[in-house]
C-alpha cells in the first residue's frame, strides 16, 4: 500500500509570521482611503488646486495597482522577503516625508512613491504565505485572513484617519505607517523565510511603464478637462494616454508571457467577474470620498464626527461578507453577485436623495457597503473558476489588480465628475478651479448667502454623480445575472490564489 506523505503543519512561528504579513496588508489597503477626511485641512495648509487634491488622494492607488504584477515577478527573481523588506523601507520613508510635505506637489510625489513601496511589498505577502503554509486547510485559512485584511483596510482607512484628525494634524494619518514598517523590518527577518522562484518569469518593465503611463495620462487629461475646461491641453493628454494604451496592448499581444494575459478577457464569465470586482471598489471608494467631503464641508462636522457617522458603512462591508458566505452554498453565484450589485445601486440611489442632514447619506452608504461586501467575497472565486487551471496565476493577478485599480479610479473618476458639476454651479464671484474647502473659505468672507450657494452646488454634484453610479451598478447587476448563471465555483488550486510573487 503506497505511503501518502502529508505536508507539515504550520507552527507558532508561521502563524506569528502571518500576523506580521496581514498587518502589513491592512496598512497598505488603508492608505488608499486614509486621507479622505484630511481633505479640508490639506486644503487649508497646502492650498492645492482641485486637480492636485485628487492626485494627492489617488496617486498612491494608481501606482500600487499598476505595479503589482511587475513587483511580484521581481520578488520571484530576487527573493520575496528581500522585496518585502525593501518595499517596507520605501513605503515608510515616503510616508515620513509625505507627513511633513511643504507643498501639494511634494505630497503628490511622496504619495506616488508610497504606492511604489506598497506594490513592492504586497505581492510578496501572498507568496510567502504559500511558502509558509503547506497544509491545504491551513493555507486556505491563511489566505482567507490575508484577503480579509485587504478588504477591511480600505473600509477602515477613513475611520482611522478621522480618529487621528480629531486630535492631530493631517500628517499624523501617514505617520502611523511607521508602526507597520518597524514591525516588518524588526520581526520579518526572524519570522519570515526567504524564498525565490527557481524559474522566474521575465520582467516586463517596458510593459509596466506603458500601462501606468497610459492610465495616468488619461486620468490627468480627464481631470484637467473637468477642472480647467476641455481645452487643447486636456485633449492632448487624453490622446497621448490612448496612444500609449494602444502601444501597450500591441506590446502585450506580441509577448509569449505578457504582463496582462489579454486572451482571458475573451471569456465572458471572466470579464464579468473582473467587472464586478472592479466596479464595486470603484463605487465604494468614490462614494466614501464624496461622503467625507459632504459631512465635513457641507454639514460642518469635524473629521472625528464624520468618521463616526460613517462607521455603519464599515459594519456594512462586514455584514456583506457574512451574507455572501451564508449564501454561497444555497444560491447560484449569479444571484448572489447580482444581489450585491443591486444593493450597491440601491444605496447610491438613496444617497442621491441626500438633503440637509446625514441620515439618507449614511443609510445609502451602509446599503452600498453591504452590496460591495457581498460581491467582494465571490469575485475572485468567479474569476478563477472562469480561467483555465494553467492560467490561474494570471487570472488572480488580474483580479487583485482590478480591485486596486477600481478603488483608485473610483476616487479619480467620481471625484472628477463631482468636482466638474460642483464648479459649474458656483457663484460667479468665486474662482472655479479651487477645492471645496477653499471655496468655502472665500465664501465666508463674502457672506452666508455665497456659502449656502457653494454647499448647494456640491450637494447637487453629489446627487447627480450618485444617480449615474446607481445606473452603472444596476446595469452591472443585470449583466452579471445573465452571464454568470450556472457557473460552478470549484475549489481553485492552492497555488492559484494570487499574482506572481
pLDDT per position as a tens digit, 203-252: 778 888 888 888 888 888 877 776 666 778 888 888 998 999 899 889 88
pLDDT at 227: 66
pTM over 0.85: no
Sign of the alpha-carbon torsion through 380, 350, 479, 217 = negative
pLDDT at 33: 85
At a CB cut-off of 8 Å and minimum separation 6, what does 309 contact?
Answer: 295, 301, 358, 362
In this structure, of 277-286, 295-304, 472-481, 483-492, the range with the lowest mean pLDDT score is: 483-492
- Asked whether residue 501 is assigned to any structural domain, the reply reads no
What HEC string does 174-196 produce? HHCHHHHHHHHHHHHHHHCCCCC
- Asked whether residue 202 is assigned to any structural domain, the reply reads no
The tens digit of pLDDT for each residue in 78-122 reads: 888 888 899 999 999 999 999 999 999 999 999 999 999 998 888
Q: Report whether pLDDT(491) > 50.
A: no
In this structure, of 134-138, 284-288, 432-436, the range with the lowest mean pLDDT score is: 432-436
Rounded Cα distance between 383 and 274, Å, is 7
- Asked whether residue 490 is assigned to any structural domain, the reply reads yes
Rounded Cα distance between 111 and 67, Å, is 14
Rounded Cα distance between 362 and 360, Å, is 6
Query: How many Å is the maximal CA-CA distance in the chain?
Result: 89
Domain membership of residue 380 as a residue range: 13-194+255-496
Share of the chain above pLDDT 70, in %: 87
Q: Which of 326-330, 458-462, 484-488 has the highest mean pLDDT?
A: 458-462
The tens digit of pLDDT for each residue in 346-388 reads: 999 999 998 878 889 999 999 999 999 888 877 777 877 777 7
More confidently predicted of 441 and 214: 214
In this structure, of 173-177, 273-277, 350-354, 361-365, the range with the lowest mean pLDDT score is: 273-277
CA distances from 304 to 159, 162, 290, 292 (A): 8, 5, 16, 11
CB 56 within 8 A of CB 105: no
CB 187 within 8 A of CB 333: no
pLDDT at 398: 79
Report residue 33 as a C-alpha cell.
482611503
More confidently predicted of 175 and 382: 175
pLDDT at 498: 42
CB 104 within 8 A of CB 47: yes
Q: Which residue stretches of 79-135 are H helix?
A: 80-99, 104-132
CA distances from 221 to 244, 246, 306 (A): 13, 17, 32
More confidently predicted of 74 and 496: 74
- Asked whether residue 87 is assigned to any structural domain, the reply reads yes
- Asked whether residue 465 is assigned to any structural domain, the reply reads yes
Q: Report whether pLDDT(75) > 90.
A: no
At a CB cut-off of 8 Å and minimum separation 6, what does 451 contact?
Answer: 440, 443, 444
Residue 262 DSSP label: G
The tens digit of pLDDT for each residue in 24-39 reads: 888 988 898 888 888 8
- Whichever domain contains 400, its CATH number is 1.20.1250.20
pLDDT at 378: 79
Q: Report whether pLDDT(173) > 80.
A: yes
Q: Which of 156-160, 342-346, 481-485 has the highest mean pLDDT?
A: 342-346
More confidently predicted of 212 and 198: 212
Question: In the structure, what pLDDT confidence band is assigned to residue 5 with cuts at 50, 70 and 90?
Answer: low
Report the SS3 class of residue 29.
Answer: helix
| Domain count along the chain | 1
pLDDT at 394: 66
CB 82 within 8 A of CB 49: no
Q: Please choose, from the candidates 98, 110, 119, 91, the residue with its C-alpha nearest in 3D space to the C-alpha of residue 182.
A: 91
- Asked whether residue 235 is assigned to any structural domain, the reply reads no
CA distances from 437 to 143, 157, 173 (A): 41, 21, 19
- Asked whether residue 3 is assigned to any structural domain, the reply reads no
For the segment 488-500, the average pLDDT, to the nearest whole number, is 46
pLDDT at 328: 67
- Asked whether residue 315 is assigned to any structural domain, the reply reads yes
For the segment 125-145, the average pLDDT, to the nearest whole number, is 79
pLDDT at 411: 85
Mean pLDDT of all residues belonging to the chain: 82
pLDDT at 151: 73
Report the SS3 class of residue 348.
Answer: helix
The tens digit of pLDDT for each residue in 280-339 reads: 989 998 999 899 889 988 888 888 888 889 889 888 888 888 887 777 667 788 888 899
pLDDT at 140: 74
Amino acid at each position: 500500500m503506497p505511503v501518502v506523505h502529508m505536508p507539515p503543519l504550520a507552527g507558532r512561528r508561521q502563524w506569528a509570521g502571518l500576523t506580521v504579513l496581514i498587518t502589513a496588508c491592512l496598512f497598505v489597503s488603508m492608505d488608499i482611503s486614509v486621507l479622505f477626511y484630511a481633505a479640508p485641512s490639506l486644503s487649508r495648509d497646502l492650498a492645492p488646486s482641485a486637480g492636485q487634491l485628487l492626485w494627492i488622494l489617488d496617486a498612491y492607488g494608481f501606482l500600487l495597482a499598476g505595479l503589482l504584477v511587475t513587483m511580484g515577478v521581481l520578488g520571484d527573481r530576487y527573493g520575496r522577503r528581500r522585496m518585502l523588506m525593501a518595499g517596507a523601507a520605501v513605503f515608510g520613508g515616503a510616508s515620513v516625508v509625505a507627513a511633513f510635505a511643504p507643498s501639494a506637489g511634494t505630497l503628490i510625489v511622496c504619495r506616488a512613491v508610497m504606492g511604489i513601496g506598497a506594490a513592492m511589498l504586497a505581492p510578496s505577502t501572498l507568496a510567502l504565505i504559500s511558502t509558509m503554509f503547506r497544509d491545504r486547510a491551513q493555507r486556505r485559512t491563511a489566505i482567507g485572513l490575508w484577503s480579509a485584511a485587504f478588504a477591511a483596510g480600505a473600509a477602515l482607512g477613513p475611520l482611522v484617519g478621522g480618529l487621528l484628525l480629531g486630535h492631530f494634524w493631517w500628517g499624523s494619518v501617514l505617520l502611523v505607517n511607521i508602526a507597520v514598517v518597524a514591525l516588518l523590518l524588526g520581526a520579518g527577518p526572524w519570522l519570515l523565510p526567504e524564498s525565490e522562484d527557481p524559474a522566474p518569469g521575465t520582467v516586463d518593465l517596458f510593459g509596466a511603464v506603458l500601462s501606468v503611463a497610459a492610465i495616468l495620462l488619461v486620468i490627468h487629461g480627464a481631470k484637467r478637462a473637468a477642472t480647467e475646461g476641455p481645452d487643447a491641453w486636456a485633449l492632448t493628454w487624453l490622446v497621448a494616454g490612448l496612444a500609449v494604451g494602444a502601444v501597450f496592448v500591441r506590446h502585450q499581444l506580441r509577448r509569449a508571457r505578457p504582463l496582462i494575459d489579454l486572451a482571458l478577457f475573451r471569456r465572458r464569465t471572466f470579464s464579468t467577474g473582473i467587472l464586478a470586482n472592479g466596479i464595486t471598489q470603484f463605487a465604494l471608494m468614490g462614494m466614501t470620498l464624496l461622503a467625507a467631503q459632504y459631512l465635513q464641508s457641507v454639514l460642518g462636522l469635524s473629521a472625528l464626527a464624520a468618521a463616526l457617522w460613517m462607521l455603519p458603512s464599515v459594519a456594512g462591508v462586514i455584514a456583506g461578507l457574512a451574507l455572501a458566505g451564508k449564501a454561497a452554498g444555497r444560491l447560484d453565484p449569479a444571484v448572489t453577485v447580482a444581489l450585491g450589485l443591486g444593493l450597491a445601486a440601491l444605496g447610491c440611489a438613496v444617497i442621491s436623495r441626500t438633503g440637509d442632514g446625514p441620515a439618507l447619506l449614511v443609510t445609502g452608504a451602509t446599503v452600498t457597503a453591504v452590496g460591495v461586501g457581498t460581491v467582494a467575497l465571490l469575485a475572485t472565486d468567479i474569476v478563477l473558476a472562469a480561467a483555465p487551471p494553467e492560467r490561474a496565476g494570471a487570472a488572480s493577478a488580474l483580479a487583485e489588480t482590478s480591485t486596486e485599480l477600481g478603488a483608485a479610479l473610483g476616487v479619480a473618476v467620481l471625484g472628477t465628475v463631482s468636482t466638474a458639476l460642483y464648479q459649474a454651479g458656483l457663484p460667479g464671484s468665486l474662482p472655479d478651479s479651487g477645492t471645496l474647502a477653499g471655496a468655502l473659505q472665500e465664501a465666508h468672507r463674502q457672506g452666508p448667502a455665497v456659502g449656502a450657494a457653494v454647499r448647494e452646488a456640491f450637494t447637487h454634484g453629489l446627487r447627480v454623480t450618485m444617480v449615474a453610479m446607481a445606473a452603472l451598478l444596476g446595469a452591472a447587476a443585470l449583466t452579471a445575472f445573465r452571464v454568470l448563471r450556472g457557473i460552478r465555483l470549484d475549489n481553485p488550486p492552492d497555488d492559484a490564489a494570487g499574482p506572481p510573487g
